Amino acid sequence: MAIVDWKNVLVVQTSFLGDTVLTLPLLSEIKRRFPEGKLTLLCAPVGREILASHPDIDEIIVDDKRRVDAGLSGLRRKAKMLRSKDFTLAISPHRSFRSALLLLLARIPYRVGFRQSKGAFLFHTLANRDPLRHDVLRNLSILEALGISTEDCRHVIDLPVIPGSKEKIRRLLDSAGIDLNQTVVGINAGSVWATKRWSPDSFAVLIRRLKQDLNCQIILFGGPEDAATVARIQELCGTSVAMLAGKTALCDLPAAVSACHLFITNDSGPMHIAVARSVPVVAIFCATTPSLGFYPYSSKAVVVEKELSCRPCSSHGGRRCPLGTEDCIKLIRPEHVLQAVKQVLQHRDEFPVACATGYEPRYLTV
């Protein structure tokens, strides 16, 4: 293996928000081992919003591959800009051919990625991406390909709150009548993929039960794209809830999630943010399965899922159910999720910190 120069490192993850959050342990481990080197992250626009104040990242460069950096001309412009940075090493957890080609065109002298990448032949060193491991551990395994043992890696997802965000969220919740001294439950009903979204009707029934049985205060989360779904839930549940959906910037999401005693969520980016803020999680997995390696990387989490032979229907879920039944959504009942909620809230002090292979949630299979 060639001598690796860690003086100026670029890490590439331009996929979804959740994928970027799951890259944080790799970034933190690089910074811990090579504190004098410069560490830069190349990510999608959402990544910069959420990670702008992260102490382990010296610089964030946005690759807006769907807009200003789209196409061959955008790729060339981005490569030219990266070339001017004089990176000594590039590490790409992202497995697209575009990312591998971008690093080649940027003439970064040493490039590392996964053997399963579509651009694997453009890397100098390849790591094996184990499909049976969590994505945090898969990302860290890239260090092993560079001769670095990961046995003593901290492998904790740590996402700080940006300055001023906590106070901003507190003011919003105060104005919505949320008492943070009571049990506060956050609900994220959104996801990029339709088949990963539990139904608004089920969320509404669950909210009524949370308030009736456990006297919980409810905060509804979501981005602008989730406005219609969240409004439908608010209409259906017929009870007082605080609406943060569409009222906060993405950069305020870590602070908002941190105000919750529990976060109920679909398989989505906000699920991983809740984990990164050490908030207990109940995760509802519909079309996707935890075996894909993107389950909540926390021992303070319960995954609720329906065991079906058709799951997962794809690696991301899909726009629609290929069988037309949506059984993975419909057969998870509000009482199943309520059972998981009670399990977390009533026994949260009994959850183990970690197991030998990292952090594992509990499972409630219906």
**Model confidence pLDDT, tens digit, residues 83-142:** 999 999 999 999 999 999 999 999 999 999 999 999 999 999 999 999 999 999 999 999
Pick the CATH number of 165-365 from 3.40.50.10800, 3.40.50.2000, 3.40.50.720, 3.30.450.40: 3.40.50.2000
Q: What is the pLDDT of residue 1?
A: 60
CA distance 22 to 17: 9
Sheet of 217-221: strand order equals: 242-243, 217-221, 184-188, 262-266, 281-285, 301-305, 362-365
> pLDDT tens digit string along 12-32?
999 999 999 999 999 999 999
Instruction: Tell me which range, 43-47, 236-240, 246-250, is most confidently predicted by mean pLDDT.
Output: 43-47
Full-model pTM? 0.95
pLDDT (0 to 100) of residue 2:
66
Residues 6+ positions from 234 with CB-CB distance below 8 Å: 220, 241, 243
The proportion of the chain whose per-residue pLDDT surpasses 90, expressed as a percent, equals 86
Q: CATH code for 8-145?
A: 3.40.50.2000
Q: Where are the domains of the chain?
A: 8-145, 165-365
CATH topology agreement for domains 8-145 and 165-365? yes
d(CA 242, CA 220) in angstroms, rounded, equals 6
* pLDDT at position 295 over 80: yes
- Could you report the per-residue pLDDT of 183-225, keeping only the tens digit for each? 999 999 999 899 999 999 999 999 999 999 999 999 999 988 8
Mean pLDDT score, 317-334:
95
Q: Which residues contact 181 (CB under 8 A, 6 or more apart)?
A: none
Q: Decide which of 91 and 226 is more confident.
A: 91
How high is the pLDDT of residue 356? 47
Query: 247 pLDDT band (50/70/90 cuts)?
Result: confident
pLDDT mean over 248-254: 94
Structure tokens at 199: 């139904």
